[in-house]
Amino acid sequence: MNIIETKKLTKYYGDTLGIKDLDLDIQQGEIFGFIGPNGAGKSTTIRTLLGLIHPTAGSATIFGKDITKFGPEIKEEIGYLPSEVFYYDNMKAIDLLRYSGSFYKKDSKLIEKRIKELAKYLDLDLKRKIDDLSYGNKKKVGIIQGLLHEPKLIILDEPTGGLDPLMQQKFFDLLREENKKGVTILFSSHILNEVQKLCDRVAIIKDGKIIKVDSIRSLAENTHKRFMLETAVRVDKSRFTGIKGISDLVITDNSVSFLFRGHINEITKIIASLNLTNMLVEEPDLEEIFMHYYV
């Protein structure tokens, strides 16, 4: 069953294109990554799905219901965390979360229990005022308000900004736990690495259009990695000729750099035969993926 389904979903802001002819199918129980550079249309898609902005053309359903007709009903089962969190500054975290919980039909005692559990897990002091919280702690409030009603669909729009690496890990663990319960997750990000860590499938969006939908396994195999090798002696170019998947090869006296796309074992065999002093393997940024793979 498709939890989210969009057909030719289009949004223009006046003359400016937000998204165009977006076709997406997100299945129940999957963690679906949605990646693209800033301004690609990720947030526009999410904001349209949530009814914050109105589509110019096309349609979308969530849980099989039209987003424009059943907005409030659909949102009963959605948890949303935006990239930037803003709440009522004068409220205490606990009051904000109780207010958030009051919108849902769930038993208030269960919501209260869930708030306490999540706050303990994320190490958040609920008695502090929103205004006094650091950005990272505000983000924790955002996570709790998105999960306190145990939604069937979690929509995350670049959610990790402001969270330290340890907290990011805890957050990902929390999402995996929710996913094990059958919760579907739409995870938007411009950081390929975090999408790779978490997601089953991924859609890449550029200039408002979906340019690729693929499984994360297939994407990882087909994605370029940048290799930067420091060598004790100059390496002859012939060592790399004829190897499928290498591009942008640059060799200087003591260094070799190239982009590689393919099975990682093939290239590590070659590298193992070199006299290395240092090695760096980097994920390419999205721009590189677009330049070298999709364009």
Partner 1 sequence: MRIANIYKQELKFYRRSTIIWMLVFALGVFGYLSLFNSFTQDVAATTKILEGMPPVVRAALGIQLKSFFSIFGFFGYLLTYFWMVGAVQASNLGIGINSKEVSGKTADFLLSKPVSRFKVLTSKLLAALTLIILTNIVFSLSSYFSALIFSKTSFDAKIFFLVCSSMFFVQLFFLVLGYLISVLVPKVKTVIAYSLPLVFGFFIFGLLDSVIGVGAMRYITPFKYFDVMYIIAHKSFEYEYLLVEAAVIVVCLIATYIIYLSKDIQAAA
| Secondary structure (H, E, C), 66-115 | ECCCCHHHHHCCEEEECCCCCCCCCCEHHHHHHHHHCCCCCCHHHHHHHH
d(CA 76, CA 58): 23
Helices (H), 80-234: 93-101, 108-122, 135-147, 165-180, 192-198, 216-222
Residue 130: CB minimum distance to partner 1, A: 10
Residue in the block written with tokens 């677009």: 290
Residue 282: CB minimum distance to partner 1, A: 28
Q: Write out the binding residues for partner 1, residues 265-294 only, by CB under 8 A.
A: none
d(CA 178, CA 72): 22
Residue 184 touching partner 1 (CB under 8 A)? no
Among 29, 51, 58, 136, interactor with partner 1 by CB under 8 A: 51
Closer to partner 1 at the Cβ: 143 or 219?
143
The phi-psi region of residue 27 (left if phi > 0; otherwise alpha if psi is between -120 and 50; otherwise beta) is beta
Among 20, 42, 47, 225, interactor with partner 1 by CB under 8 A: 47
Dmax of the chain from CA atoms? 70
Residue type, 121: Y
Among 39, 103, 113, 125, interactor with partner 1 by CB under 8 A: 103
Hey, what are 96's tokens? 């904000």
Closer to partner 1 at the Cβ: 41 or 284?
41
Residue 126: CB minimum distance to partner 1, A: 17
How many CA atoms are closer than 13 Å to the CA of 126, on its beta-carbon side?
18
Burial 199-208 (b: 16+ CB within 10 A, else e): bebbbbbbeb
d(CA 17, CA 207): 8
51-59, 179-187, 192-200, 254-262 -> range binding partner 1 (CB under 8 A): 51-59
Cα-based distances in Å from 253 to 60, 181, 232, 236, 237: 56, 55, 9, 10, 11
Residue 72 touching partner 1 (CB under 8 A)? yes
Q: Write out the binding residues for partner 1, residues 139-158 only, by CB under 8 A.
A: 145
Pairing label, strands 246-251, 78-81: unpaired
Residue 151: CB minimum distance to partner 1, A: 10
80-88, 120-128, 177-185, 277-285 -> range binding partner 1 (CB under 8 A): 80-88
Residue 189 touching partner 1 (CB under 8 A)? no
Among 43, 160, 188, 231, interactor with partner 1 by CB under 8 A: 43
Among 32, 34, 63, 80, interactor with partner 1 by CB under 8 A: 80
Residue 86: CB minimum distance to partner 1, A: 4
Closer to partner 1 at the Cβ: 73 or 173?
73
Residue 249: CB minimum distance to partner 1, A: 40
Q: Write out the binding residues for partner 1, residues 82-101 only, by CB under 8 A.
A: 82-90, 99-100
Residue in the block written with tokens 């306190």: 148
Among 24, 50, 203, 267, interactor with partner 1 by CB under 8 A: 50
Using CB under 8 A, list all residues that contact partner 1. 13, 43, 47, 50-54, 71-76, 78, 80, 82-90, 99-100, 102-104, 145
